[in-house]
Each structure stands twice: as C-alpha cells, then as structure tokens.
Amino acid sequence: MAKPTQDEAALLELAQFAASYSRAWRAGIHAVDVFYVSGRQVSKQPPSGEYLARGSFMIYGSKNYIRHVRLELAVGVRDDGGVRRVVAAPPKSIAALAERYVVITPGSGEKSRVAKEIARRWKAEQLVDDLIAALPGPSAIGEWGSGQPIGWDEIKAAFSTW
C-alpha cells in the first residue's frame, strides 16, 4: 500500500474527527465508513417537487468514501495567557494544540465519570464541564501524552483564511 499524500492524510484526519462525533460513537462502534463531497455538491434546495426537512441538506453528484475509519479522539488542555481551554482533535494533531492530552475510544465509561477522571489526573477539576462537552459519548481512556502547542494567535490566523 502506498504512503498517503499530505492531502490524503488530512482527509483521513478529518474523516476520523467527523466519525468520532457521529452516532457511531454512542453506539459503541469502533470503525465506520465516512463519505465526503465538495461544497458545490451541497445545497439547501431540493429538486423540483420535493421537500427537504428542516436542517437537511441535498447532496448532488457522487460521494467519495473513506472506508474503515477508526473512531478515536484526543482531548487536551492548553493554557492561553492564563485561560485554560479544552480542545479536541484527531490523535495525530493534538500535540500541536494541547500541553496535555488523552486519547479516548468508544467505551462504556459515562461521559461525566471519564471527564472527572481526566480532570483529576490533570488537577483541573474546574474543567469538568468543558471536558464533558468535548467527549462525544461513552468512552474508554487510552494513551496519555503531552505536546508543544502552537500559539492561540497562530490558530486564529489559520482559521481566518477560511
């Protein structure tokens, strides 16, 4: 199998992140197929004579599939000028975003219990609510790690180009 290009690697990370916040996590599934389309293929306009439910989108054209995407997410904490932030990202990206992180997978641990365990380990009990919000569903705690996060200004600048 050929090594993925940078764009393919980015697509794999995006697929993993999207899959982690899907219903599959709450169902306890560990791998799913993910599809993606270009922005031009997505519309709020249904074909003539059809109806779209509120909050729905119409996808035109073919879908591109990424098969067997592993559900795995990293949740971390970073300090930005005295403000502690909880961040979530694919495991391969988290070291650039968080000083400390943990990799989680779908599991049987309730979100509140898992969040409290993470906060206790990081001595950050004030972040329990933020951790609960970042967890996609019942989880199992995996690998703990540390990173060298880039600055918050760099993150904002990267997103301002979108």
SS (H, E, C) 79-120: EECCEEEEEEECCCCHHHCCCEEEEEEEEEECHHHHHHHHHH
pTM for the whole structure = 0.85
Q: For residue range 88-103, list pLDDT tens digits in order.
A: 999 999 999 999 999 9
Whole domain around residue 51: which residue ranges?
A: 6-70
Looking at the structure, do residues 87 and 26 belong to the same domain, yes or no?
A: no
Q: What is the pLDDT of residues 142-155, one digit of tens each?
A: 999 999 999 878 87
| Domain tally, the chain | 2
Which among 47, 70, 93 is the end of a domain? 70
Say if residue 105 is in the same domain as residue 66: no
Confidence of residue 5 (pLDDT cuts 50, 70, 90): low
Does some domain include residue 23? yes
Tell me what pLDDT residue 109 has: 97
Name every residue whose Cβ is closer than 8 Å to that of residue 121 and which is 6 or more positions away in sequence: 102, 144
Q: Are residues 131 and 148 in the same domain?
A: yes
The whole-number pLDDT of residue 108 equals 96
Residue 107 lies in a domain: yes
- Structure confidence by residue, pLDDT tens digits, 107-137: 999 999 999 999 999 999 999 999 999 999 9
- 30 lies in the same domain as 93: no
